[in-house]
Amino acid sequence: MGSVAERTMEARVAERADFGPWLELAAEVETLFGPMARDPVFQRALLRSIARGTAFCIRENDGCPGSHLVAGLLLSPRPPVHRIGWLVVTESERRSGLGRALLDRALAGIEPPAEVLVITFGPDAPGGESARSFYQKMGFTPGEMSEPAPNGATRQVFRKWLGKGAPQAASRGRLPRRDKRLTPQPPALVQRVQAISHELARPVSPRQRGHGRASSQNEQPTSGDGRGYPR
């Protein structure tokens, strides 16, 4: 299996034509995250993310919009907090750098200082080791436990700080005093995730339809939440 660079598959902002292929990709991972492809809540969240430019994908062989997808990521931006709501790589392409390429593309559009959250598998969740290892390699730090997934599996919040001084603050387990607003705590974190989910499920406004994608810095569903999108 070649690397991403060797096969020139780039992470790109998804377009409306990618909606169908995205649902096919979601169907591939339903054994891990539960039914999504036919879930109207997930479909609305996906369409909203595509409309505002916060859905990122990698098409097979770097094909045109509507081509088969091998990876996808949905971002929920609520500056200064941004949440990775869904990150999936098709099984045949895992460990080939696609997940890193997607995450790098999504993070590149976030203006620091900012906090990036993802809820992924807990330490004792079956099959969750690779996802946890991936996020830690990408600079995320394990945080508090989240609510269990619908299937009962444990889930945990991982965080990444963007901006000057963030690595030192993260290593101490806290932010500088002036940036404490970036760190929602339970139950505030749960309430924020629910608010983001409701925002994602709202229909796209006529203005968004007319203008297509919005800036990824102004507006995002993650692997490991049991269903693949924020609850």
| DSSP label of 175 | -
Question: What is the reported pTM?
Answer: 0.71
Tell me which H or E stretch contains 73: strand 69-78
State the CB neighbour count (10 A cutoff) for residue 12. 16
**Residue that has been written with the tokens 């901006």 in this structure:** 163
Q: How far is CA 85 from CA 6, 42, 45, 60, 186, in A?
A: 29, 11, 10, 22, 18
CATH superfamily of this structure's domain 4-210: Gcn5-related N-acetyltransferase (GNAT) (3.40.630.30)
Decide: 175 and 169 in contact? Cβ < 8 Å. Answer: yes
Decide: 60 and 24 in contact? Cβ < 8 Å. Answer: no
Q: What gap in Å lies between CA 221 and CA 231, rounded to an integer? A: 9
The residue ranges of every structural domain in the chain are 4-210
Closest among 152, 90, 99, 82 to 122, alpha carbons compared? 152
What per-residue confidence (pLDDT) applies to 149? 83
Decide: 84 and 53 in contact? Cβ < 8 Å. Answer: no
* Count of all residues that appear for the chain in the document: 231
Each residue's pLDDT, cut to its tens digit, for the chain (231 residues) gives 555 445 568 999 999 999 999 999 999 988 877 789 999 999 999 999 999 999 999 999 999 999 999 999 999 999 999 999 999 999 999 989 999 999 999 999 999 999 999 999 999 988 889 999 999 999 999 999 999 987 788 999 999 999 976 544 443 333 333 333 333 334 443 444 454 355 454 545 554 444 343 333 333 334 444 344 433
| DSSP label of 159 | E
